[in-house]
Every structure is written in structure tokens, then in C-alpha cells.
Amino acid sequence: MAITPPENRLWWNEPIERIEIAWIVVAFLWGLFMFFFMIAWHFIGNQNLSTETYKITPAVFEEKVVEFADKYTVGEEAGVPLVRPPAGEDVYLLARLWEWWPVLELKKGQSYRFHLSSADWQHGFSLQPVNINVSVHPGYEQIVTITPTEAGEFGIACNEYCGIGHHMMTGRIRVVE
């Protein structure tokens, strides 16, 4: 209820003030600008990943990951295979309750095609501290090309709530010179 209600109760028949029209025009133009700039930023911002996505069954993807890990395993870290694929090779990473499997060791400056999928629930691939985020769904294989630009150890965290062990769902990627 207004302090001083309008004389005509049909407010939509009242004339619009010039300042209100100006604000409506400004808000509309700003909305258009933001809409088109978000599209442009995908191409000029160099931070949004373009992905390929394919349908795949979780069991088939898991077989691909196991085959990849068996082929390139060089050791073990806390019971998880440490996998060192050749530079430029396709890399497979599996999300499952509550781990990213296997641990990867990549070469700095080399491009890799990451194949990501889930064996069970929706998970989020969040590579830290570089802030790369990809939603990972069972039944879909996401392919992202990544070129590490600095050496070090990078953490993978799940950023989609996936159950009681979500806070422990981490993985690692080691980048070497």
C-alpha cells in the first residue's frame, strides 16, 4: 500500500515519467550489451573452454580409462596409479565417488586432449589454482584441450555436490618441465 495512493487505481493507464523511460532504456541497452559481450568474451577472453561432447556409457568410458592407465602407468601415489602419457597424447580422467582417477603427470608446454566422464553421478572438474571448470556427467564424454603453461602440482576438486564424501573428492595433475 502506497503512502499516497494514485487517484486512478488503474496504474497501468497512468503516463510514464520521462526519467522512468530513460531508466528503462538504459537497463534494456545494458542487458543487450551484456548479452552480446558474454558471447564475444568466449572468443576474446581466452578463459572459456570449448568442449566436444559425445554420448558414451559409463562402463565403456571406464574401460578406456583403465586401458589408458595400464598403458602409461609409471608408479603409484597413495594406491592410485601415477600415469605419464607421451606429450600430445589423449588423456583420460574418470570421476567416481569420491575420487578423480588416475593421477596424471604432464609436460609443460604440450597440449593434451582431456577426456572427462563420470562413472556414477554428476561431478564438477575444477582445476585449481587455474580455475578451469567443466561439468562432468555420466553418459557423456567431455573433451577439452589443455596446454599446461607452468610446472607444479595442480589440484582437482569436485565442485558439484555428489554426496556425503564430496568434500574428499580430489585428484592431482603434476606438470613437469
Q: For the chain, list the domains and their CATH numbers.
A: 11-44 (no CATH), 52-176 (2.60.40.420)
Rounded Cα–Cα distance for residues 91 and 174 (Å): 13
CB atoms within 10 A of CB 125: 23
In this predicted structure, the answer to whether residue 141 has a pLDDT above a threshold of 60 is yes
Given this model, what pLDDT does residue 52 score?
Answer: 85
**Residues present in the chain in total:** 177
155 with 131: CB under 8 angstroms? no
Q: How many CB atoms lie under 10 A from the CB of residue 160?
A: 18
Which residues have C-beta within 8 Å of that of residue 22, sequence separation ≥ 6? none
pLDDT of amino acid 4: 72
Which range scores top for mean pLDDT: 32-46, 47-61, 149-163?
149-163
Distance CA 12, CA 20 (A): 14
Name the band, by pLDDT with cuts 50, 70 and 90, for residue 111: very high
Q: What is the pLDDT of residue 45?
A: 72
Q: Which residue has the higher pLDDT, 48 or 125?
A: 125
With 0.85 as the threshold, say if the pTM is over it.
no
